[in-house]
């Protein structure tokens, strides 16, 4: 079989595609496809789907380097999600390179995330606030090249209109129903639907979603009344939700449990000091390395403290916060100022010297002495 594999290169703000012989084929390939291949460092192979339509499938860059001696399995459908078992296994085992560099997540967890999505599981990302749940969910969606829909469930005041739709009235049509985007989403085959902050959603939303998420049911009822119309969830639709909670908390309430039972749970880990440093350095390469080390240490110390038996603080500083701090350092704020703005307001001030805030201040203080030349507190023991 004669196959065409192209490489995408960037010139200016354009993503150009070239064959091995150097022929420019940019106009044959969608911009989004070229961009995504470029960002993932992958080549694109021309393939033919059912009905003879051609499309471009992402393949490892090595395919571009040695096209002729690779055997190709013809894909079974146009959707860029593998269906054949060998293909699925291959896709999973090579999927770590689809993970964006800016997301810190272990290879095992990332692969499990990809695998769960390919296998059509409902996925629930759990973990503390600001530990990368939404980022991981969005990265998964980007990696899969499937139709996607985003719903911030934490912000919904009226779950019925968000998930089902609204009844309207006008003179010409009389009373009519306009369905929600969610109805469209569940009717889109192979779509990935992100239900962000699901645990903060209105309980009515959970009730509506119960049948939708149940693998034995998979339908949306348009009305509470028994026997009312239902809408089927299309084949291949996968749900990914996020929950601002640790695993230990997830099944404490009854309703939570019924909901959680419908998901494969993937817990996002807190970053260790080294990972935190690596991420911050990657995001802000021009910020002083010593300062980045300090921020990583502060984050790590607060996290370690929060899991101690007699912890003096309930939770450590999140990665979201440490990224914010380094963003402030980048813009010329001092570590002291950055801490004051981003960290302290997150900790309770009541109880004076015994407060959570005082404790966190003491930790930060260890690292800002050089800057301010004055000490707020005596050094806490090392
Ligand atoms: N594991 C992580 N890898 C990379 N960045 C992270 C990670 N965790 C948090 N961040 C940073 O914090 C921000 C907030 O993360 P987010 O995914 O919104 O947290 P969550 O949804 O868990 O509350 C991200 O935009 C990113 O800058
Ligand atoms: Mg989030």
Task: Spell out the SS3 assignment of the chain.
Answer: CCCCEEEEEEECCEEEEECCCCCECHHHCCHHHHHHHHHCCCEEEEEECHHHCEEEEEECHHHHHCCCCCCCCCCCCCCCCCCCHHHHHHHHHCHHHHCCCCCCCCHHHHHHHHHHHHCCCCEEEECCCCCCHHHHHHHHHHHHCCCEEEEEHHHCCCHHHHHCEEEEEECCCEEEEEECHHHHHHCCCCCEEEEECHHHCCHHHHHHHHHHHCCCCCEEECCCCCCCCEEECCCCCEEEEEECCCHHHCCCCHHHHHHHCCCEEEECCCCCHHHHHHHHHHHCCCCCHHHHHHHHHHHHHHHHHHCCCCCCCCCCCCHHHHHHHHHHHHCCCCHHHHHHHHCHHHCCCCCHHHCHHHHHHHHHHHHHHHHHCCCCCCCCCC
As a whole number of angstroms, the distance between CA 241 and CA 219 comes to 18
Distance 196 CA to ligand 2 centre (A): 6
Q: Is the CB of 283 under 6 A from ligand 1?
A: no
For range 83-109, the mean pLDDT: 92
To test the pocket of ligand 1, the residue of 104, 128, 130 to mutate (highest count of ligand atoms within 8 Å of its CB) is: 130
pLDDT surpasses 60 at 154: yes
Between the ranges 33-42, 48-57, 272-281, where is the mean pLDDT highest? 272-281
Give the nearest ligand 1 atom to 320 CA: 12
For range 174-179, the mean pLDDT: 86
Q: Is the CB of 134 under 6 A from ligand 1?
A: yes
Distance 253 CA to ligand 1 centre (A): 26
As a whole number of angstroms, the distance between CA 67 and CA 46 comes to 12
As a whole number of angstroms, the distance between CA 290 and CA 156 comes to 42
β-pairing, 174-179 with 165-170? antiparallel
Q: Is the CB of 243 under 6 A from ligand 1?
A: no
- Under 8 Å between Cβ of 141 and 152: no
Report pLDDT for 14: 81
Report pLDDT for 102: 95
Average pLDDT, the chain: 86
Percent of the chain with pLDDT over 70: 87
pLDDT surpasses 60 at 184: yes
As a whole number of angstroms, the distance between CA 334 and CA 30 comes to 45
Q: Is the CB of 113 under 6 A from ligand 1?
A: no
Centroid of chain to Cα 259 = 20
Confidence band, pLDDT 50/70/90 cuts, at residue 80: low
Q: Is the CB of 322 under 6 A from ligand 1?
A: no
Q: Is the CB of 137 under 6 A from ligand 1?
A: no
Give the nearest ligand 1 atom to 318 CA: 9
Of 276 and 9, the structure prediction assigns the larger pLDDT to 276
To test the pocket of ligand 1, the residue of 105, 113, 131 to mutate (highest count of ligand atoms within 8 Å of its CB) is: 131
Report pLDDT for 76: 37
pLDDT surpasses 60 at 106: yes
Distance 321 CA to ligand 2 centre (A): 13
For range 198-227, the mean pLDDT: 87
For range 86-90, the mean pLDDT: 89
pLDDT surpasses 80 at 360: yes
Report pLDDT for 329: 97
Distance 136 CA to ligand 2 centre (A): 9
Distance 323 CA to ligand 1 centre (A): 9
For range 48-56, the mean pLDDT: 82
Report pLDDT for 200: 84
Of 78 and 377, the structure prediction assigns the larger pLDDT to 377
For range 217-226, the mean pLDDT: 84
Sign of CA dihedral 211, 217, 220, 224: negative
Whole-model pTM? 0.74
pLDDT surpasses 70 at 252: no
pLDDT surpasses 60 at 249: no
Report pLDDT for 246: 60
Report pLDDT for 226: 66
Report pLDDT for 196: 94
Per-residue pLDDT tens for 262-302?
A: 999 999 999 999 999 999 999 999 999 999 999 999 999 99
To test the pocket of ligand 1, the residue of 320, 327, 342 to mutate (highest count of ligand atoms within 8 Å of its CB) is: 320
Largest CA distance in the chain: 77
């Amino acid at each position: 079989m004669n196959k065409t594999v192209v490489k995408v290169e960037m010139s200016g703000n354009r993503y150009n595609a070239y064959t091995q012989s150097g022929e420019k084929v940019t106009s044959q390939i969608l911009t989004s496809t070229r961009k995504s291949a470029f960002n993932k460092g992958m080549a694109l192979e021309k393939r033919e789907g059912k009905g003879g339509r051609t499309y471009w499938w992402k393949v490892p860059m090595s395919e571009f380097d040695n096209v002729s001696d690779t055997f190709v399995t013809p894909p079974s459908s146009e959707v860029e999600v593998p269906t054949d078992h060998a293909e699925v296994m291959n896709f999973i085992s090579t999927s770590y390179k689809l993970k964006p560099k800016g997301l810190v997540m272990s290879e095992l967890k990332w692969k499990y995330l990809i695998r769960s999505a390919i296998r059509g599981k409902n996925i629930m990302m759990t973990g503390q606030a600001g530990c990368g749940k939404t980022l991981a969910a969005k990265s998964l969606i980007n990696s899969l090249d499937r139709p996607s829909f985003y719903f911030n469930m934490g912000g919904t005041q009226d779950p019925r209109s968000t998930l089902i739709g609204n009844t309207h009235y006008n003179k010409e049509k009389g009373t009519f129903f306009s369905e929600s985007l969610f109805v469209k989403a569940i009717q889109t085959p192979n779509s990935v639907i992100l239900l962000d902050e699901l645990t903060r959603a209105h309980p009515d939303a959970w009730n509506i979603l119960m049948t939708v998420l149940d693998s034995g049911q998979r339908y949306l009822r348009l009305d509470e009344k028994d026997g009312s119309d239902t809408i089927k969830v299309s084949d291949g639709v996968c749900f990914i939700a996020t929950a601002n909670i640790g695993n230990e908390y997830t099944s404490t309430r009854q309703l939570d449990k019924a909901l959680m039972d419908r998901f494969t749970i993937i817990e996002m880990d807190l970053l260790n000091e080294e990972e935190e440093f690596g991420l911050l350095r990657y995001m802000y390469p021009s910020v002083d390395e010593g300062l980045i080390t300090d921020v990583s240490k502060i984050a790590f110390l607060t996290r370690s403290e929060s899991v101690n038996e007699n912890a003096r603080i309930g939770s450590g500083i999140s990665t979201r916060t440490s990224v914010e701090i380094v963003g402030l350092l980048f813009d010329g704020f001092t570590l002291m100022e950055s801490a004051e703005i981003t960290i302290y307001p997150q900790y309770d001030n009541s109880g004076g010297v015994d407060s959570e805030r005082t404790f966190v201040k003491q930790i930060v203080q260890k690292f800002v002495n050089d800057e301010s030349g004055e000490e707020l507190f005596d050094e806490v023991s090392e």
